[in-house]
Structure 1
Amino acid sequence: MTAPEINADINSGDRYLLPLPEPGTPVVLPQFVVAMHTHLNACYADAAWPLGPLTANPSTYRRVIYWRNCPAVFADELRLAAWTMINGHLRPTFLQTRGARLRSRLSAAQIHETISAWIRLAIWLQARGIRRLADCTTGVLHSYGQHLLSYHTNRSHTHKMLGAVTRLWAFDQLSARPAGIGRAPWDERGADDYLPAATTTGGENETEPLAEQTMGPLLVWAMRMIDDLAEDILAGWAETQRLTQAARTTTGTPHGKATLEAFLAPLLAAGSPLPAGRTQGEVCLAATYLSGITGASRSQIDKLNQREGLAEAAAQRPGPCPLNVPVAGRIAGEPWRQALDFAEAPVLMRHLGTAAFIVCAYLTGMRTGEVLGMRTGCCPDPKPTTGEHADGNNADANTGRHLIRTHEYKNAVDADGNHQSSGVERDVPWVAITPVVNAIRVLERMVPDGSLLFDGRAHDLRYHRPGTGSLKPAAIRHRIEDFVAWANTEALTHHIPGEAIPADPHGPIGTARFRRSLAWHIARRPNGLVALAIQYGHLRTSVSGAYASRGRGGIHELLDMETVRAVADSVADLHDTLENGGGVSGPAARRAIRAAATAPRFAGTVITVRTARRLLANEDAMIYDNPQAFLLCQYKREQALCHRDSVKHTVKDTPGLDHCVPGCGNIVRTDQHAALLRDRAAFLDTRARHTPHPVAERLRTTAGRLRAYADTHDQTRTTLEDTTG
């Protein structure tokens, strides 16, 4: 049956019932194939079904269904059900009674996961002597559900396994030759009896943020690569490619031979190091480099090698392969290299791409897949606008702002809520602050126009793998580990051990932790260690306030949750302080004491997106810690001096902790804050004794002001007993 005939059959009669495929029928029908991956499509009778035609996501692995893994007795039945699921839709009547999250069509990754679950069911059935799906009755499925309950401890995974069986029953009914599998009992009575106890939700919301002692230096080194070293690295790579191309195309001439001998003769005579590199871990003569700089052919180099023993000498006395490009970059005020090296150029390019990923992933809040899906031209220079939009928002707020337009894939759905295999452009673009723009501009020089910024062919300099797409998340994880090792070596070489990147206490840096880390640092450390690299007040405005409240899939939900977690910790600490006889002072002291009574409520609340929004809306319960300013903020929007210059249309639901204003009516201080203020004042006095007079006076003035804050606290502090009395 041809594709037009198939389409005609699909569009006639009941559009949810698909015709019986023939051996040559495409696994993915034309209307569902992503054009760029048409060549990957297989036929129904093939032993392997690539699912690549179903997705345009450049950073995902192209999964394949291998039917050899399925018991032969079930292969025909499951193959038909799988083809029906790939090319069909579940009926709306089926979806309406089963919750809003159930989709009529799945992504390629979910299809692979679902069919794999079917194959596991078939293996279980075969082990019990069952040879066809018609004998898999409701009672048999009850036993299978009990098996999953005893075998798996993860509630979410078990729920997916049960859902896959339900989907098999649903699509079996829509196939041209139903096998007759029974309806799962959990589809009628609910799944709770077949699920293990609930645990944490998992995912990025439960991922540990990167410690600021790790994230700060990591971001410093990444931005240093982009801002200070990129020009040298790109120039070195261009020269390396030029020399490599020259070596590849040169032909032997007397002049090239003479130049080669003139270059090597003094080195051999003096027993000096010879230009060397590494191949498969072994030190070898840098023949390509020698050919490129002298014009000698490889044949001429080989003959000279045989006569003079160049390879053995290079292995014993390996020397550099300096490139004839100027070095402008500096680390710790000194040139970072005397000369760039031919052998190191691809390594530095690899680290440069990794640095750009770190900057983009951390300072935008994008998911890994969206970062890897960026293309050249995604962040054009802004065109200034003035006036007001039709919705009443002041356009001046966006003047000069760089925006990144990307496609999202994880949550890409069509108007009916079904997964969009080709991805969709975000309704609202990401906001790019200057470091991100700089990183994108560097990436645009590393790849051809129109390409992915992390195009695998452009960034994988050691191997040339077939296919299209970006670097994969697993590759990025390894590159980040290598980048950290390189940066730490550089820190020692340049005598700045304090800028080394320490290991994170919760394990590898990875890629999924950047979004959570961004939310954590914005919510809890507005002026903390990572501020060595970026100003967080501006970042919070850019990442959250400017667009995320309107942008599907932005970081605002994660930021809200992290903010509420931080508030919960602050409220609990204040509650314990007051219960132990501690005192508080400040204009909002009594309000804070009342708010501290909500600590038990926070302690018993699972922080989800919904609860975070509800709690953030309750100003009476929200206390924010600002350890850099030595105070708490019992936030009331109308009294907040940190937002007094905000645009009139902007609604601020959280304080601007990066610029607390003395005299604000929301300030609260504890006994610990008073002690910390005096410690800080003593530190400033010590610095003043070793500082020139004008600066010393400013330090002493600041120290006096901090002591005055502490004295005021001691004189006005209020305790829990005072309020209850």
Structure 2
Amino acid sequence: MTQQAAAFSDHLIGDNPLALTNRPVRPDADASRLSRFDDDRWDLTPGIFEDHSTKTSLNFEVFPVRWRVAVKEYFWLLINDETIRPLPAARLDKRLSLRTISFASAPLARVLAWAEEHGIISLNELSPARLDLMLADIAVLDLSNGRKGMMVSETRRLWAYREVVPEILRMPEPQPWLGELTRDLFAEAPKRPGNRTPRIRDETLVPLISWAMRFVDDLSTDITTSFHEYRLLLQQEDRFRPPGVGRGTPGGTRQERLKRVLDHFRRDGTKLPGRTLPDGTREIRWQHLGRLTYTLGVFTPSTTET
């Protein structure tokens, strides 16, 4: 670590500054509750001015203990240092947003966990050969290509800060992976168009097909017939009848038509159209009875049937 970086590190650890020291804070933020360097979790939400923004924070407990203080110094720099240090080949001419910084936590934690597992005590040990080994291990992780790429990107971002980070995080001079594009590093195959939905298991698919066939063979005729009859009944109402088509009415008086419908219900052992209420009484659907008897507008819901 340079002498300047060492002095800076002593300042952070000794003075316990605000996590958002050099960031504007919302006027409604409680100054007494703003996160400080020593906290294990930094709440970045007071520095995000978008309305209805979700809570954004950094949880340092996800990092291996031996790396944790150094990582906090690094993230404090990402938040507060005004010097722009873009990723190699990146077109960035402004500071990182707090939300972007929060997204860097998980991939960097995975990188440092890998270093811990391989007995690396300082990132200065990340030689090209070890970087290639790390890349090979990243490639076989059960993660999306996007998350794998973020691990590579955050490794490169850490390299871009090598002059100011603590010694334990300071990577060697050569640029990681010689600046190759992430998609070239992983040799991603071109994406094939098509259905990528996982296949339904046979024990689920076979009963579904069986019920679909039964629906078509056994049930659909009754359903479509009833629906066709219902559409004809609806045409008694002006709003459902095609323009220029008059209302068709079967022969007989209203009383005769009502008697025919009631006789039909009695013969089939069915109840008047309606619903049974919680107290056991039956509420008659007079409008539908009016459709069946072609007497819409005559019946009124004045009684219930028990």
CA contact (8 A) 1:51 1:108 kept: yes
Q: Is the partner of 2:42 in helix, strand or coil?
A: strand
Which of residues 158, 163, 166 in structure 1 aligns to 2:153?
163
Which of residues 15, 26, 29 in structure 1 aligns to 2:18?
26
CA contact (8 A) 2:29 2:46 kept: yes
2:77 aligned with 1:84 = yes
2:170 aligned with 1:180 = yes
d(CA) in 1 for partners of 2:243, 2:53:
57
CA pair 119-157 structure 1, distance change in 2 beyond 3 A: closer
CA pair 185-141 structure 1, distance change in 2 beyond 3 A: same
CA contact (8 A) 1:33 1:54 kept: yes
Aligned pairs (5 A) from 1:546-561:
none
CA contact (8 A) 2:131 2:177 kept: no
CA pair 132-62 structure 1, distance change in 2 beyond 3 A: same
CA pair 53-199 structure 1, distance change in 2 beyond 3 A: farther
What's the RMSD between the two structures over aligned residues?
Answer: 3.5
Question: Taking structure 1 as the reference length, what is the TM-score of the superposition?
Answer: 0.24
Which of residues 245, 249, 253 in structure 2 aligns to 1:690?
245
Question: Taking structure 2 as the reference length, what is the TM-score of the superposition?
Answer: 0.52
Q: Which residue of 2 aligns with 1:134?
A: 124
Please report how far the alpha carbon of residue 133 of structure 1 lies from its aligned counterpart in structure 2 after TM superposition.
2.3
Which of residues 30, 35, 58 in structure 2 aligns to 1:42?
35
Q: Which residue of 1 aligns with 2:185?
A: 193
CA contact (8 A) 2:19 2:42 kept: yes
Q: Is the partner of 1:173 in helix, strand or coil?
A: coil
Q: How far does the alpha carbon of each residue in 1:298-317 deviate from its partner, in whole angstroms, 9 at most, with x for none?
A: xxxxxxxxxxxxxxxxxxxx
d(CA) in 2 for partners of 1:68, 1:173:
25
One-letter code of the match for 2:18? P
d(CA) in 1 for partners of 2:30, 2:167:
28
d(CA) in 2 for partners of 1:103, 1:156:
23
Q: Is the partner of 1:49 in helix, strand or coil?
A: strand
Q: Which residue of 2 aligns with 1:116?
A: 106
Q: Which residue of 2 aligns with 1:106?
A: 96
d(CA) in 1 for partners of 2:98, 2:242:
62
2:40 aligned with 1:58 = no
CA pair 113-85 structure 1, distance change in 2 beyond 3 A: same
CA pair 48-169 structure 1, distance change in 2 beyond 3 A: same
CA pair 72-142 structure 1, distance change in 2 beyond 3 A: same
Please report how far the alpha carbon of residue 189 of structure 1 lies from its aligned counterpart in structure 2 after TM superposition.
2.7
d(CA) in 2 for partners of 1:187, 1:112:
26
Count of aligned residue pairs for this structure pair: 192
CA contact (8 A) 2:23 2:47 kept: no
d(CA) in 1 for partners of 2:135, 2:27:
40
- Structure 1 or 2, whichever has the larger Rg, is 2
Q: Is the partner of 1:37 in helix, strand or coil?
A: coil
d(CA) in 2 for partners of 1:89, 1:195:
35
Q: How far does the alpha carbon of each residue in 1:606-626 deviate from its partner, in whole angstroms, 9 at most, with x for none?
A: xxxxxxxxxxxxxxxxxxxxx
Q: Is the partner of 2:169 in helix, strand or coil?
A: coil
One-letter code of the match for 2:42? W
Q: Which residue of 2 aligns with 1:75?
A: 68
Aligned pairs (5 A) from 1:8-23:
19-20=8-9, 21-23=12-14
Unaligned runs of 5+ in 1: 1-13, 202-497, 499-685, 693-725
One-letter code of the match for 1:194? F
CA contact (8 A) 2:84 2:95 kept: no
d(CA) in 2 for partners of 1:198, 1:18:
49
CA contact (8 A) 2:123 2:168 kept: no
d(CA) in 2 for partners of 1:141, 1:689:
79
d(CA) in 2 for partners of 1:19, 1:180:
15
Q: Is the partner of 2:89 in helix, strand or coil?
A: coil
d(CA) in 1 for partners of 2:190, 2:26:
38
Identity of aligned residues (%): 16
Q: Which consecutive segments of 4 or more residues in structure 1 shift more than 6 A?
A: none
